[in-house]
Structure 1
Amino acid sequence: MSNLFLGIDCGTQGTKALVLDSQSGHVLGLGSAPHTLIQGDHGRREQEPEQWLQALKLATAQALAQAGVSGQQIRGVGVCAQQHGLVLLDEHGEVLRPAKLWCDTESTPQNRQLLDWLGGEAGSLERLGLVIAPGYTVSKLLWTRQQHPQVFEQVAHILLPHDYLNYWLTGRYCSEYGDASGTGYFNVRTRQWDLDILRHIDPAGHLERALPGLIEAHAAVGTLRPEVARLLDLNPGAVVSSGGGDNMLGAIGTGNIEPGIITMSLGSSGTLYAFEPQPHVSPDPAVASFCSSSGGWLPLICTLNLTNVTGAVRELFGLSLEVFNQLASQAPIGAEGVSLLPFLNGERVPPLPAATGSFQGLTLGNLTQANLCRATLEGTTFGLRYGLDLLRRNGLQSHTIRLVGGGSKSPLWRQMVADIMNTPVICTEQSEAAALGAAIQAAWCVSGQPLTELSQRCVRLDPSSETRPDANHVTAYEAAYHRYRQQVAALTE
């Protein structure tokens, strides 16, 4: 019997597909296809779900071709996608309007209204186990009701992006706890939908009836619809697993399924999360105490400014990635007193939604490209340290950091993370951690093998990337980080 599984990761910028042999633990093939963004005033960020389907088809064909295997050998499919997005379907299962995404801030006024109704941050924490933020799904529902009442009247199903892809693949409407916990109408402690907040948005009970059923992380959604199996040239008996949000499946794809490991992603935004076997709701609103897609919980923090900021500074100076890293490495720790508060997008952690970015501490003596490049790397990494401090304050252990995302390829940045966090750092061999996690979850669902066994076999660490903190660097960074904290405190005052 075949041991081949397909993992799909539908992100903001594109869809990735990956073919995994769960017996050998090897990734046999990868594929990808891009998405475009609909951008508008007031922070509108949307996508046409039809694009995701086309990209899934292209990426799957590429991955199978690179693997040199027939789609008929695929035993299972796991799907993960960007969290918090809102896909609205009518009674025939047709998409009613473009999906509002996690990075859409057009519903910020509606989020404020809902937060007031919940009793502020404290009320939201007490009721849901987390504090709703503008990117979450719930404010998008209120926005739709207020801005598009005719569309709202036709809503028969409310789904997240990964739920929608699972529906397209199998014909079944359902959701799993990890992705559901980022909606803002789900209680992360009891793992149930919060119906009262939906009744507040729509007293007629319309939304309540449109909710998908909830399934366990190891459960199957179903098998492929015959027409989809033909379209994708996949085995019609292939089982589709529960799937999850991209962070939840990224946790599985980095082996972050037991306490002690922290996954850190150095992408456009920065994320940091760790596994917990019990619900441990943080009193700090910046920590999102999500459920995991492996049967536990996944406290998570997200910073909005990372490689998007390093990229902007590189473009400003017209530098290649290589030259940028070279210049940054020439400047000393602390960049001779130059700091960057990198809040070009506002910021979630530290909680400064209205903040802007600024270079500080500039003098005629320290105004060099090297110091500005170094300060950019340090300033963005300090935001993640701020988040790690919050997680540690809530009792999370961090024996090791598993690093993924574009920034993890830089040895300079890896050393900086190890020193600033005072924790050993290592990269996984497979950089597409979320797609790998989706494939591993599919193998778990179909084969019934323990997830820990599959993880040990399929998640491989790259020994050449292992980076340990340097005691002298750790001390030097503490001073620079203290400066950053003082500058952030000045903003909040």
Structure 2
Amino acid sequence: MYIGVDCGTQSTKVVVVDVEAGRLLGEASRAHRLDEGENGRREQQPGDWIAAFREAFKAAVTQARVDPQQVRAIGVSGQQHGMVALDEAGEPVYPAKLWCDTETAAENADLVARLGGEAGCLEKLGLVLQTGYTASKVAWLRAHHPERYRRIATLLLPHDYLNFWLTGERVAEAGDASGTGYFDTHRRCWRHDVLAEVAPELDAEQVLPRLIEAEQPAGVVRPALARELGLRDDVLVASGGGDNMLGAIGTGNIAPGLVTLSLGTSGTVCAYSERPVVAEDAMVANFCASSGGWLPLICTMNVTSATNRVRELFGLDVAGFNERVAHAPIGAEGVTTLPFFNGERVPALPQATGSFLGLNSVNTTSANLCRAVVESATFGMRYGLERLGPLAEGASQIRLIGGGARSPVWRQMVADITGTPVVCPQITDAAALGGALQAAWCDRRATTSLASLCERLVHLDPGASAEPQPASVEAYHRVYARYRDALHRHHAIPHN
């Protein structure tokens, strides 16, 4: 048996997978609290992730009806970019600032300038620093909380922190490390000189975790924790990775030709590449994959986070919200949303706010506002697909994951807006499944390939697919053009 874990923004999920039978036996999740404040502050307490893991693990194992002694390895996926700064005792010096935190926009702009602008970032890192990345969070802590900054002994990402709690080892792998902003994504190594620009007082050799390969173990579960969880004393913990990297594994996106699109709290579009990508567009992140290779990626910050704002505004449950969306026409009778409630990364608008445009006395209905926010969140994903260029243009299929993928109306909308067939994996918690697959790969790396494991466990759901409808595709071309006009008018984003 193998355990997959996904520590996301809203919850930690745990799945129990039987590789031999090719089945998921049990799953559970426990919610986290998100602390939000002015200026785009979004933080969480790392201790909440541990509490959620403990509860979700026990619930998933109970549901699976398995003896924890059968577990051979654990793989952890985590929300990318979060800053987990630890002191000498391994305790956080400050709450984890998350991927969606935009309070550090000024520090990010300063770092980009000091690294030589976009060209300098691309040369040193293979990507352009974004406000959501870890680097500006460390610089922000240095500027605003110098006494806490001076206590930093280790810099980890959320999944690295859970691995550290599980094993006592401070390690990292290339996929998640790609999003720190002080990692060379072409050469797959830390950039000590860049960290020196971010945090000149810190010794990179001391504070950065040891890098391991994707198929290598981070360590074994600590004896005391193994006893608490009912595990054997030799359970491996795989390298793990960022949620996007493990989500790609969980959809079988480990070879060229597929696109994974996630309708989660944020939205991501990624496509596997066997070589690092030299992107023409600075918004394309040349991340490494957690399966070897690379995973060029686009991330938007407002997907279910935006739709849930509107759903809750009208006091609707998910079913009621989806019903309103389905009853409004394509284009929401002229209502356009710029759904930037969390600022935005793609396009780069960290200080942007949300807007509803085109409202009049006839079209201001709950159905139209619900539909407009879903359409506009999806337009943001199409904008991201266009940035990926040939990697996405050659894809014959989009594999759709995340909470939004459970909605038939949203699946059809993605197919119509992108003009591409859409299908969902049977296991929609792809990042948690990816963690379990990577755990099995780590345990069996001498005899079993990751590709064979994906073939055994990544099954598509023909009942959760959608083909683009020509009339709707044509209608959405016009509505998307209206959305792009709004981006241009309100945020000076060019049409190209």
Which TM-score band applies after superposition, normalised by the shorter structure? over 0.9
Report if aligned partners of 1:199, 1:208 keep a CA contact under 8 Å in 2: no
Distance 2:363 2:148 in 1: 56
- 1:457 is matched with 456
Report if aligned partners of 1:198, 1:208 keep a CA contact under 8 Å in 2: no
- 1:62 is matched with 59
- 1:38 is matched with 35
- 1:16 is matched with 13
Q: How does 1:398-417 map to 2 (within 5 A)?
A: 398-417=395-414
| Corresponding position: 1:29 with 2:17 | no
Q: Which of the residues 115, 119, 123 maps onto 2:120?
A: 123
Return the offset for 1:205: 4.9
After superposition, what is the alpha-carbon deviation per residue over 1:445-470, rounded to whole angstroms, capped at 9, x for unaligned? Answer: 11121111100111111111121111
Distance 1:470 1:63 in 2: 39
Which deviates the most, 31-40 or 440-449?
Answer: 31-40
Report if aligned partners of 2:250, 2:432 keep a CA contact under 8 Å in 1: yes
Distance 2:197 2:409 in 1: 50
Which deviates the most, 163-172 or 433-442?
Answer: 163-172
Q: Which of the residues 169, 173, 176 maps onto 1:179?
A: 176
| Corresponding position: 1:328 with 2:325 | yes
Return the offset for 1:109: 2.0
Return the offset for 1:292: 0.7
Counterpart amino acid of residue 27 in structure 1: L
Report if aligned partners of 2:126, 2:184 keep a CA contact under 8 Å in 1: yes
The alignment partner of 1:115 has SS state of helix
Which deviates the most, 50-59 or 448-457?
Answer: 50-59
Distance 2:2 2:315 in 1: 42
Distance 1:202 1:321 in 2: 44
| Corresponding position: 1:345 with 2:339 | no
* Structure 2 unmatched ranges of 5 or more: none
Counterpart amino acid of residue 179 in structure 1: D
| Corresponding position: 1:468 with 2:467 | yes
Return the offset for 1:233: 1.3
Q: Which of the residues 306, 309, 312 maps onto 1:309?
A: 306
Change (3 A) 1:476 1:209: same
Return the offset for 1:230: 0.9
| Corresponding position: 1:94 with 2:91 | yes
Return the offset for 1:92: 3.2
Counterpart amino acid of residue 192 in structure 1: C
After superposition, what is the alpha-carbon deviation per residue over 1:273-323, rounded to whole angstroms, capped at 9, x for unaligned? Answer: 111111013121211111110001111111122222222223333334333
- 1:168 is matched with 165
Q: How does 1:71-470 map to 2 (within 5 A)?
A: 71-393=68-390, 397-448=394-445, 449-470=448-469
The alignment partner of 1:15 has SS state of strand
Question: TM-score of the superposition, structure 2-length normalised?
Answer: 0.94
Return the offset for 1:251: 0.7
Change (3 A) 1:317 1:56: closer
Distance 1:153 1:365 in 2: 58
Distance 1:359 1:93 in 2: 45
Distance 1:266 1:78 in 2: 22
Report if aligned partners of 1:6, 1:76 keep a CA contact under 8 Å in 2: yes
Distance 1:43 1:336 in 2: 32
The alignment partner of 2:72 has SS state of strand
Return the offset for 1:393: 4.9
Return the offset for 1:64: 0.9
Aligned CA RMSD, in angstroms, stands at 1.8
Q: What percentage of residue pairs aligned between the two structures are identical?
A: 54
Q: Number of residues paired by the alignment? A: 490
After superposition, what is the alpha-carbon deviation per residue over 1:238-273, rounded to whole angstroms, capped at 9, x for unaligned? Answer: 111110011110111111111111111112221111
The alignment partner of 1:260 has SS state of coil
Change (3 A) 1:389 1:148: same
Report if aligned partners of 1:259, 1:397 keep a CA contact under 8 Å in 2: no
Question: TM-score of the superposition, structure 1-length normalised?
Answer: 0.95
Report if aligned partners of 1:188, 1:289 keep a CA contact under 8 Å in 2: yes
Counterpart amino acid of residue 101 in structure 1: L
After superposition, what is the alpha-carbon deviation per residue over 1:352-394, rounded to whole angstroms, capped at 9, x for unaligned? Answer: 3333333333344444443333322211111111111111256
After superposition, what is the alpha-carbon deviation per residue over 1:154-193, rounded to whole angstroms, capped at 9, x for unaligned? Answer: 3221111111111221121110000000000001011111
Change (3 A) 1:63 1:486: same
Counterpart amino acid of residue 28 in structure 1: L
Distance 1:319 1:479 in 2: 29
Distance 2:359 2:36 in 1: 35
